[in-house]
Structure formats: C-alpha cells, structure tokens
Structure 1
Amino acid sequence: MEKETFTVSVYSENNVGLLNRISGIFLKRHVNVESLNVSKSEIDGVSKFTIVIVETQEATRKIAGQIEKQIEVIKAYYHKNDETIYQESALFKIKSSLLFDERQIQNIIKESNSEIVTVSREFFVLSKTGRRNEVDAMHDLLKPYGIMQFVRSGRIAVTKEEMPISALLKEFNQN
C-alpha cells in the first residue's frame, strides 16, 4: 500500500497526560507526526486534536483505533486531504530596512496574499495563512533576504462531509 497524507481528528475530554499517551502511540509505530494542533471543538468541554501523518490507510486506521482505546477519547476519525478543508498559519520576522530598501519584498507580500502584522524600527512581522506548500513557497522567497524568525502552526482542518460526533455525543449524554 502506498503512503499518503492523512488528517487524524481526535475528540476527547481535556485531561492532563492524554497528549503524551497519544504521541506514544505514534512513537511505538515509528510514525512521524507532521503537524499537531489541539484546540477546543464545536462541542462544549470537548477538545479536538488535529494530527497530520504520512502513512498507509491501513496503518492510519489502526492508529485511530488505538487512539480510541484511550479512556478520555470520545472518537477518532481519519481523512485524506481531498476530504478536508485545511489551512496553516505562519509568522515571518524580517528586518524593517528590507521593507523599504527591497522592492521585491513588497511584491512578495502582495503576491502571496500575506499581511503585515506589525512594524517597528528593527523588524516587521508578516502573517501568511494557506496550505503548507503556499507557506513553504513564501519562506523560499523570503529566505534570501534573511528571515530573523519563522514559526508555523499545525494544520487546522474541517471535513467536507458532516461529522457525526455531535450526534454521537448527544446519544451518549442521553444514556
């Protein structure tokens, strides 16, 4: 089977130590986590882990099943890229003089649909939201000018199809 990119969505109670146990599942299987984001979900009191891996569908299915065995985990889903709508965010810190001295920097900002977040005498910060390849492309364009600092978020994603998690929780709470 061929490896592809999967987004694993894990709905859970917000408990200390769960992230450690989930990461241990990937460690035991020698699977590298490409991206990780944890936030509150659309359901009060429920957290959502969004984990990106490159693996076979069978291995991803097994990983999701193993994650679901954790007591605090309500449900784990996995989706291919074409089944989700996803974005990443990145911040670039660059020397302020370049903003005025290098015309190409202004073109990069305009063409990449990025946004200037702040400007000081020493530096300015750009924000870019998009797919990983768009953030990577902007990084490659800015690198020759000198990036003082760079940080990117993990993937955030929603599925194209309706997620049955809300109905599942409603049914669970009625029992």
Structure 2
Amino acid sequence: MDQDIKTFTISIYTENNIGLLNRVSAIFQRRHINIESLTTSQSEIDGVNRFVIVVNITEAQAKKIVGQFEKQVEVIKAYYHTDEQTIFTESCMFKIKSALLFEEPQIQNIIKESNTRIVTVNKEFFVLEKSGRRNEIESLRRDLNVFGIMQFVRSGRIAVTKDEMKISEMLVAFNNQ
C-alpha cells in the first residue's frame, strides 16, 4: 500500500446527533492529524447529514480512520477519496471599503478576471463572493490584500465523487427503518 501523504476527502454519512462533531474531531486528534477543512450539511436523504473532511495523510491512515468512524453508532457509512476521484470546490467572501471600488480601477479588473461576483455594495463597503479551488481563492486574496481587506472568510471543501456511490440505496433503506 502506498505510504505517500496525499490529500484525502473523507465523507461520513450520519444521523444528526449532538456531540458527534466532538467524537469525529477526537479521532483525528488522537492520531495527531490536522483537519484542513470540515463541512457538514444535509445529505441527499432527509434526516441524514454528511461531513466532508479534508486531511493530508497516507492511504493506510485514511483506511483506519474510516474504520474508526464506522464504529460510531450514529455513522451510517464513511468513505475516503483522493482529489482525482472527486469534483470539489470552496467558496469565500471578501468585505472591502466601497471607495476602493470606484477609486482603484485595478480592483474592477481583478473582479472581472477572477470571475468574482459582487454580492452587495453600500456606502461603507462592498462584498465579493468567489467559488473555486483553494489556489484560486488564495491568489484572489493576495491580489485584494494589496488594497486592504476588511473581512475574509473561506468555506471548507464541498465535494461529490466522480464515480457512482452506492450510498443512496443504503440511505433510503436506513431512512425507511
């Protein structure tokens, strides 16, 4: 088995129970593994949530961690995938002083060239939204940082697999229990 460290996206389908996030993070903490990003949301089935966790680990570690998650009572199924096996994106927002939008023509060029969307504009500030890969978002942040960013926030990764996952049938069966 390959022992190279890679970026893995771990998907965990769970019941929506209080305290599960603590147990999920504890599994990584015990192994001294840093979580790069963590997103949780409703899955394609009502009453079932999905965690999407990005970590840089070996495949052997990914396999062990998925096994640990599946021992949790609330976990229905857990998977791990490489970047090549997923389609993924992140989102971010920037809050910037409004005066710059009109005084710095370069900002308008940055917005246009980066496919960034203006969400709102008022007298004090404007807000930009961008979706894309982490490197695109970081590049945009560097470009805008020159002008001053009042606030910045980036989401965790959201991802779907390229291959069909048999989880849908499993989730329907789980939901009909």
Q: Percent identity?
A: 62
Report how many residues are paired.
Answer: 175
Q: Counterpart of 1:59 in structure 2: which amino acid?
A: Q
For the aligned residue pairs, the C-alpha RMSD in angstroms reads 1.2
Structure 2: which 5+ residue stretches go unaligned? none
Q: Distance in 2 between matches of 1:41 and 1:83?
A: 19
**TM-score of the superposed pair, with normalisation by structure 1:** 0.97
Q: 1:88 aligns with which of 81, 90, 97?
A: 90
Note the 1:8-157 alignment, pairs <5 A.
Answer: 8-157=10-159
1:168 deviates by: 2.1
Q: Distance in 1 between matches of 2:75 and 2:53?
A: 14
Choose 66-75 or 162-171, whichever is displaced more. 162-171
1:169 deviates by: 3.0
Check conservation: 2:13, 2:51, Cα contact below 8 A: yes
Structure 1 stretches of 4+ moved >4 Å: 171-175
Deviation string 1:42-86 (CA, Å, 9 cap, x unpaired) is 011100000000011110111111011100000000000010000
Deviation string 1:79-106 (CA, Å, 9 cap, x unpaired) is 0001000010000000111100111100
1:2 deviates by: 1.2
1:170 deviates by: 3.9
Q: Counterpart of 1:149 in structure 2: which amino acid?
A: Q
